[in-house]
Amino acid sequence: MLKKVFSIILTLMSLILVVALQPHSIHADNPDREYGSDLAYKRRVVSTPHTDDNFNEKAVDGLMHTRYASQGLDDAFFYIDLGSIEKVGKIVLDFEAAYATQYLIQLSMDAITWTTIAEVTNTEATIDEIELPEFIEAQFVRFQGVERGTQYGYSFYRFEVYGPKNLAAGSDVYAVSSNENAVELNRQYITDNDAKTRWASAVLDDQWVLIDLLEAKNFDMVKIRWEVSFARRFRIYMHPSLTTQPDRDDAGWAEIVRSDVGLGEVDTFKLSGVETARFLKIELIQRETSEATKKTGRLPFESTFSIYEFELYRWDDINAIPLGHVLEFSQNAPAWTAMSNITLNASGLILAPIGYPIEADGVVTNLASIADGDIPGFESYAVYNPAVIYDKERQMFHMIYRAELPDNFRYYFMGEGRGKYELGHMSTLAYAYSYDGVHYERGENNPIAWPTSSDEAGGGLEDPRMFVIENDPARGGLTTYYITYTMYDNSVTREGIIYTHDFVTFHKHGRLAPDFNAFGGAIKSGSYVTDPEGHAVMIEDPRPGKSGKVYMIYMNDGSYTMRINFCLFLNLILHVDVVLHNSYIIPLHLNV
């Protein structure tokens, strides 16, 4: 029997093990370790180019007869984004005839810096099951070729990755709201510890799942592994009962996870502490689908909720070696982006689009149709361009953000027809608040501002900016929050202004500088000069022959060339005195 040499290298532990074992069997001494489902199943793959139709994703499609085949390069590579940080304990490679006589297994947090944790030497095509002596925390797992065993590249049927078995495996899913197919997509598949099986609901929002863990379990992390049809909005609850299975509407359910920003693939929630429960409920509120699925013509409102695995862990009790630094990026970004110099919110997105574009189809047609601000699907396409300010009096953060609706959803999503409805690709402004600056809740009366004039018909309201004036003499001494924004009619951009004292009632005044016509009247993204806390700053009037204090705002629409104008405001309630542009003065007047 031929032998292979296998080395496990854990540099973070200063430990190197070299083991000579029989083919097909490479194990550390972990006889009692239990593993979960395959973490690599249908995850994203990056590799050197393939040959013929042996695409890289075929190594993670769960099929025994499909394979990835690289071009004939000794240094060819293949790596998987697991979709979240996992504790990796075992990797399985099932080689086709084109095997590797030598290769490395490497792990990374950022797909930039790789740590070699195993070196493998083969003398024939084998199924290599590589078990690590310790779990290692990582998000990316890479095969790095060193030397080919044949004249061809490297080819494997399967590339699998395994972590610890989760606490919900084997639980009883005792009730669901509906089934797309109760036989082939059975509800018990949610907790069967098999990456390839799944449950799917009917084609409806507001679905639910009830799970009996069979005994009380302690856990501090929740994961949901989604199929391409996932939940944008969902909640997870636990029940205090330890004996009797509760119904969905029974009293006592306590929320432990809330998300309005689901992006699919793998949603991970680290709880603030250890929870104890036997019965859990998943409330699935709104459906979403992957971008690739949308391109096939299947839109979110035509889809189901579909879950491969629901998982619980006592994460902090699973010993694992940390590896490097976490890379964070948008999973829906059009390109892979390496970011090594910034840190993003560890809990994921703050807000994501909700609602369905189809809700506006034939309803949002002109300004009269949205006069009361009741705009179905107003933030179903995008939410972005936020402005945030801290409220010292209420000790909370206020956010104004741009919400966008694709008014002709069949054109934007499916390529059917051409042209736009009267309101174009319309944006409104909406409000959200937070007490920690990280976790935000939407306001109850969104949107807070929407197109009401010809200046805004078409593009709508864009690019909010915010500042505050305490003891505002223009508003009876009240603290006033001003919001500038871009008014866009699909042709020209203009500057608008809104103010509020409480972020409940908003006063919209339209154009900030109605008489300003430099560059054809195109001005936007006005930003007042403020201190670091967002208070508008008054400066000495810099104009020849003038004295006193003035506010200053920068504004202009430079198209592809950046151009900046600045205005000097003597009093927000009375008028704008002048705009300085280059070497000439243009008088303006404004009543707000």
CA atoms in the 13 A half-sphere facing the CB of 113? 9
| Nearest CA among 1, 29, 263 for reference residue 132 | 29
Contact in structure between 106 and 58 (CB atoms under 8 Å): no
**pLDDT at residue 292 in the model:** 84
d(CA 445, CA 373): 9
**How high is the pLDDT of residue 128?**
94
The CATH class that applies to domain 357-587 reads mainly beta
SS3 state at 368: helix
| Residue partners of 574: CB distance under 8 A and separation at least 6 | 474, 591
User: Hey, how many other C-beta atoms are within 10 angstroms of the C-beta on 121?
Assistant: 16
Dist. CA 560–CA 545, nearest whole Å: 36
Q: What are the sequence ranges of the domains in the chain?
A: 4-164, 172-313, 357-587
pLDDT of residue 106: 96
Quick one: tokens of 452?
């009401």
**Strand 527-528, strand 199-200: pairing:** unpaired
In this prediction, residue 366 carries a pLDDT of 83
Among residues 170, 162, 282, the alpha carbon closest in space to that of 217 is found at 170
Exposure class string for 416-446: b at 16+ Cβ within 10 A, else e = eeeebbebbbbbbbbbbbbeeeeebebbeeb
Cα separations (Å) of 364 from 403, 426, 536? 15, 10, 37
Q: How many CB atoms lie within 10 A of CB 178?
A: 15
- The confidence score (pLDDT) of residue 324 equals 62
- pLDDT computed for residue 410 by the predictor: 55
Architecture of domain 172-313: Sandwich (2.60)
The answer to whether residues 166 and 312 touch, using CB atoms and an 8 Å cutoff, is yes
Asked if 2 contacts 20 with a C-beta cutoff of 8 angstroms, the reply is no
- Res 162: pLDDT: 98
Q: What is the pLDDT of residue 551?
A: 81
What does the alpha-carbon distance between residue 154 and residue 70 come to, in Å, rounded to a whole number?
5
Token output for 169: 């495996």
Q: What averages of pLDDT result for each successive group of 10 residues across the chain (592 residues)?
A: 45 33 51 92 93 91 93 94 95 95 94 92 91 94 96 95 98 98 97 97 98 98 96 97 97 96 92 97 95 82 96 96 61 45 63 87 84 92 93 95 77 50 77 92 95 90 93 90 91 89 92 66 76 86 79 64 44 34 29 38
- Output the pLDDT for position 468: 94
Structure tokens that stand for 230 in this block: 């996932």
Q: How far apart are CA 277 and CA 24, in angstroms?
A: 40
Instruction: Determine how β-strand 155-164 pairs with β-strand 199-200.
Output: unpaired
What is the C-alpha to C-alpha distance for residues 509 and 192, in angstroms, rounded to an integer?
58
CB 107 within 8 A of CB 137: no
Q: Write out the two tokens for 304.
A: 């189901």
Residue type, 246: P
Q: How many CA atoms lie within 13 A of 546 on its CB side?
A: 14
**Same CATH fold assignment for domains 172-313 and 357-587:** no
**Rounded CA separation 487/454 (Å):** 9
For domain 4-164, say whether CATH 2.40.128.130 is its number.
no
Which residue reads 């086709």 in tokens?
96
Question: What pLDDT was estimated at residue 279?
Answer: 98
Report whether 115 contacts 104 (CB < 8 A): no
